[in-house]
């Protein structure tokens, strides 16, 4: 018999966060989160997303052992302002037992019905900067820190519960040696001259901070047309600056401004932390920081985390300016492999940007949806 317990205490929350460590303890490809950061994600004091959203966390038990977990999420900005009556769910993990997953699905759907929402969709987080999608391909490759990993059996549990694919994502990689500067070097000089653009380069994190709010504003503008988009609020900007920017080499952040110093393009690349995170197994102390700092400085893998171009400058070749800057930086750093985070398969504009690098799709994932009317 499966019993469900709502997470209400700090002890329960730690159990919720640590469950995947048991579920994936034998996996070579799962990348543990930093436990301290995961706990902050669900803290109403730490995470300002709770100003516009709420989450109810559940643990599933069988024979007095935890066998599954799920976060049932409502983003009220999405529901009220965009009139998208979606019941979100994420952080969804379970043993290969259909009764376990179905019981967790039932809890999510029950909340959605009580709130008169129209459908459930997951796995997703609170916003577009959270992890997304259940993996359907690529189980034999290590997962970047910015994505979820799951066992191959997950998808059959969704299908058994009546869920249908809603959005498809792909993840690609390419060797840095595939990058040929002749595709963008000459063009980027012409583009900078034609539109009177210049690149802002950084060597210290504190140099980035004065531009960070403008970056998030541009993120909201450039991604607004995507089907899954929920805008980042002003208070969330402060949280994300604190959470992400300190993990990124300032040299890996590229901003492009026009003649009025208005930000019209940006890109953020993260060092590959996956192997370091596997070594520290969720704990920054006592030696975890050392592994993280070493990866930040010396990782030969990089992950293209975000690229945003102002709508007025899209399809004008601004990405060539960005690529030229990264080519110079990556050459100096000895980068070997470039990875891309999950991208919607129907986002054809972003796929066109990468076509000259002969990317290989090495993972696929999707979100799934079910009507609860």
In the prediction, which pLDDT does 315 show?
Answer: 87
- pLDDT mean across residues, the chain: 93
Tell me the helices (H) and strands (E) count for the chain, helix number first.
Answer: 12, 14
The DSSP call for residue 6 is E
In the prediction, which pLDDT does 228 show?
Answer: 62
User: Per-residue pLDDT tens for 238-253?
Assistant: 888 877 787 789 999 9
**Measured over all CA atoms, what is the biggest interatomic distance in the chain, rounded to whole angstroms?**
69
Domain 2-172 fold: Aminopeptidase (3.40.630)
In the prediction, which pLDDT does 129 show?
Answer: 78
Report the pLDDT averaged over residues 336-361.
Answer: 88
Look-up of token digits 């504003």? 217
Q: What share of the chain is helix, strand, coil (3-state, %, to 5)?
A: 40, 25, 30
In the prediction, which pLDDT does 143 show?
Answer: 86
User: Of 9-18, 203-212, 221-230, 286-295, which range is least confident?
Assistant: 221-230
In the prediction, which pLDDT does 225 show?
Answer: 74
Query: Among 254, 279, 283, which residue's Cα sits nearest to residue 192?
Result: 254
User: Of 57-71, 78-92, 225-239, 292-306, which range is least confident?
Assistant: 225-239
Q: How confident is the model at residue 66 (pLDDT cuts 50, 70, 90)?
A: very high
- Pair 197, 325: CB distance under 8 Å: no
Query: Among 19, 33, 42, which residue's Cα sits nearest to residue 288?
Result: 33
CA dist., res. 146 & res. 305, Å (int): 8
Instruction: Decide if 2-172 and 175-361 have a common fold.
Output: yes
Report the pLDDT averaged over residues 41-54.
Answer: 93
Domain ranges of the chain: 2-172, 175-361
The CATH class for the domain spanning 175-361 reads: alpha beta
In the prediction, which pLDDT does 227 show?
Answer: 63
Beta carbons within 8 Å of 202's beta carbon, 6+ residues apart? 208, 250, 251, 253
Report the pLDDT averaged over residues 223-234.
Answer: 76
Percent of the chain with pLDDT over 70: 99
In the prediction, which pLDDT does 81 show?
Answer: 85
DSSP code per residue over 134-150: EEEE-TTSPPPTTS---
CA dist., res. 49 & res. 181, Å (int): 41
What sign does the CA torsion over 225, 230, 236, 240 have?
negative
CA dist., res. 75 & res. 50, Å (int): 9
User: Per-residue pLDDT tens for 271-320?
Assistant: 999 999 999 999 998 889 899 999 999 999 999 998 899 999 988 999 99
Q: How confident is the model at residue 234 (pLDDT cuts 50, 70, 90)?
A: confident
The tokens describing 279, both together, are: 């070594």
- Pair 282, 35: CB distance under 8 Å: yes
User: Per-residue pLDDT tens for 100-155?
Assistant: 999 999 999 999 999 999 999 999 999 877 999 999 999 999 988 899 999 999 99
- Pair 316, 280: CB distance under 8 Å: no
CA dist., res. 272 & res. 141, Å (int): 14
User: In sequence order, what E strands does 53-201 have?
Assistant: 53-62, 65-75, 86-94, 119-122, 134-137, 164-175, 198-200
281: left (phi over 0), alpha (psi -120 to 50) or beta: left
pLDDT of residue 325 exceeding 90: yes
Query: Among 192, 258, 263, which residue's Cα sits nearest to residue 222?
Result: 263
In the prediction, which pLDDT does 355 show?
Answer: 82
The DSSP call for residue 177 is G
């Amino acid at each position: 018999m499966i019993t469900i317990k709502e997470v209400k205490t700090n002890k329960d929350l730690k159990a919720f966060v640590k469950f995947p460590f048991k579920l994936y303890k034998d996996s070579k490809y799962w990348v543990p989160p930093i436990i301290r950061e995961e706990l902050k994600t669900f803290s109403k004091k730490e995470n300002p997303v709770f100003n516009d959203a709420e989450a109810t966390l559940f643990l599933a038990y069988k024979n007095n052992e935890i066998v599954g977990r799920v976060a049932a999420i409502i983003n009220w900005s999405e529901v009220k302002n965009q009139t998208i009556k979606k019941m979100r769910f994420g952080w969804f993990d379970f043993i290969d037992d259909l009764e376990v997953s179905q019981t967790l699905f039932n809890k999510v759907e029950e909340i959605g019905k009580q709130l008169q929402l129209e459908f459930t969709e997951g796995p997703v987080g609170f916003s577009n900067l959270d992890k997304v999608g259940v993996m359907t391909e690529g189980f034999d490759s290590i997962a970047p820190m910015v994505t979820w990993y799951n066992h191959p059996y997950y998808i059959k549990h969704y299908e058994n519960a009546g869920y249908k694919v809603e959005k498809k994502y792909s993840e690609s990689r390419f060797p840095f040696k595939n990058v040929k500067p002749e595709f963008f070097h000459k063009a980027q000089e012409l583009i900078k001259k034609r539109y009177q653009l210049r690149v802002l380069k950084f060597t210290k994190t504190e140099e980035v901070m004065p531009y960070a709010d403008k970056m998030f504003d541009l993120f909201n503008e450039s991604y607004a047309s995507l089907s899954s988009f929920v805008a980042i609020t002003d208070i969330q900007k402060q949280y994300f600056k604190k959470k992400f920017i300190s993990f990124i080499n300032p040299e890996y952040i590229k901003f492009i401004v026009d003649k009025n110093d208005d930000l019209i393009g940006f890109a953020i690349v993260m060092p590959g932390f996956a192997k370091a995170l596997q070594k520290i197994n969720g704990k920054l102390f006592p030696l975890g920081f050392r592994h993280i700092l070493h990866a930040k400085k010396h990782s030969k893998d990089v992950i293209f985390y975000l690229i945003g171009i102002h709508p007025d400058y899209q399809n004008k070749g601004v990405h060539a300016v960005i690529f030229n800057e990264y080519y110079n930086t990556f050459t100096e750093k000895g980068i070997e492999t470039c990875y891309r985070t999950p991208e919607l398969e129907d986002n054809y504009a972003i796929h066109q940007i990468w076509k000259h690098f002969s990317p290989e799709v090495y993972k696929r994932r999707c979100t799934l949806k079910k009507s609860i009317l």
